[in-house]
Amino acid sequence: AVYNTFHVAVATGPYRFEYVDGAQWTDRIPALFRIYLKRRFENTNTFRAVGDPTELTRGAEYNLYTDLRAFHIDRASSEERAVVSYGTRLVNRRGETLGSRVFSATSPTGEGDVDRYAEALDMAARQTSSETIDWASALIRTDMESRP
């Protein structure tokens, strides 16, 4: 529920969150992240079609399911930083899970104003999404090579 909001979340202690005054996203964080990850996959020009769980992508051979676990600024640690973490599961058309993994990254926020928060969150999201694309691509190649 902490991330199912339009607000920029800040962890101030274990299981304690606040929101940045006067700053909010254009949509709820899970929806924005889903769009972000989809666009990152599309921009690789590697995949025939890219969709997300809210769409019916015709002929999809693979589905990537994600579970957003962290997308916030962490003030509880010694150095303020952005944290992005999510679980993934890649499933083929036959319903077989090809792999699952958690991707996590942090990025320092510097001085800690709203613009730097957005930049740091973007940097952490970019790192995790690049790792996810590489991971999923390798699993898909392996799966395609194993077909008769």
- End-to-end Cα spacing for the chain: 45
For residue 48, pLDDT beyond 80 = no
Q: Return phi, psi of residue 94, to 5°.
A: -80, 0
Rounded mean pLDDT, 81-107 = 94
pLDDT in tens, 113-125: 888 999 999 999 9
Q: Residue 80: what pLDDT?
A: 92
Rounded mean pLDDT, 62-75 = 92
Q: For residue 70, give the nearest of 52, 57, 82 by alpha carbon.
A: 82
